[in-house]
Amino acid sequence: MLPLSILELAQKIRNLPGMGAKSSQKLALDLLQSKQEDFDDLMEAIKNSREKTFFCKQCGFFAEGHLCNICSNSSRNQSQICIVEKEIEVISLEKSESYRGVYHVLKKLISPLDNVFAENTTITALIEDRLMKLTKQGNQIELILKIDHLVSITRMAQGLPLYYNPETLDVATVTRALEDRRVI
């Protein structure tokens, strides 16, 4: 009953994660009925954010430049690194306003059964770039895992602080620690 172009728009919206058929169609119709100015502003904002946003070279969170707002904030403790799977978890942890360290976004969790190995995550970047640099500067590093791989557990944060001896810090150690999360 709806014109093809509207159906196509609704279908494109539905392709986005978390969008159902009804809500996609409603959003498509709302967009079409919005004021031209509001519509243009929205399109501009989408285009703008897409062009200007990158991933932080240090932690993997969203950034407009080389570093994100968290990594470039000198009042944050750069030696306290909270490891999370996805960018969205950084946002929810930041809402608590109690954490003063920085983050590392893995993007994917190591899961050999699903063919996801250490090299498919950002774990090597964490070890080789960040931790080695901090270690050389003589910092005591604290890694906090905020990862919950088990779907049956709905609480996200199972905090496990891990203190590493800089002498023994290597990819295998941290990879093992991350794999150990399965038995948390």
List contacts with Zn ion (CB under 5 A): 56, 58-59, 61, 68, 71
Q: What does each C-alpha distance from 28 to 16, 22, 35, 36 come to in angstroms? A: 13, 10, 14, 14
Nearer to Zn ion, 25 or 121 (CB): 121
Identify which of 53, 55, 59 has the alpha carbon closest to the alpha carbon of residue 123: 59
Report d(CA 176, CA 106) in Å as an integer. Answer: 14
Two tokens, residue 48? 């703008």
Give the phi and the psi of residue 173 in degrees, each rounded to 5. Answer: -60, -50
Judged by CB, which is closer to Zn ion: 58, or 80? 58
Residue 127 Cβ, how far from Zn ion at the closest point, in Å?
Answer: 16
Q: Is the CB of 82 or the CB of 110 nearer to Zn ion?
A: 82
Report the nearest approach of Zn ion to the CB of residue 23 (Å).
Answer: 32
Question: Which of 78, 77, 79, 55 lies closest to 67 in space, CA to CA?
Answer: 55
The least distance separating Zn ion from the CB of residue 84, rounded to whole angstroms, comes to 12
Q: Which is nearer to Zn ion, 94 or 179 (CB)?
A: 94
Tell me how far, at minimum, the Cβ of 87 lies from Zn ion, in Å. Answer: 10
Complex with Zn ion: residue 14 or 108, whichever CB lies closer: 108
CB of 126 to Zn ion, least distance (A): 12
Cα separation values, 34 from 4, 16, 27, 118, 181, Å:
19, 21, 10, 47, 47
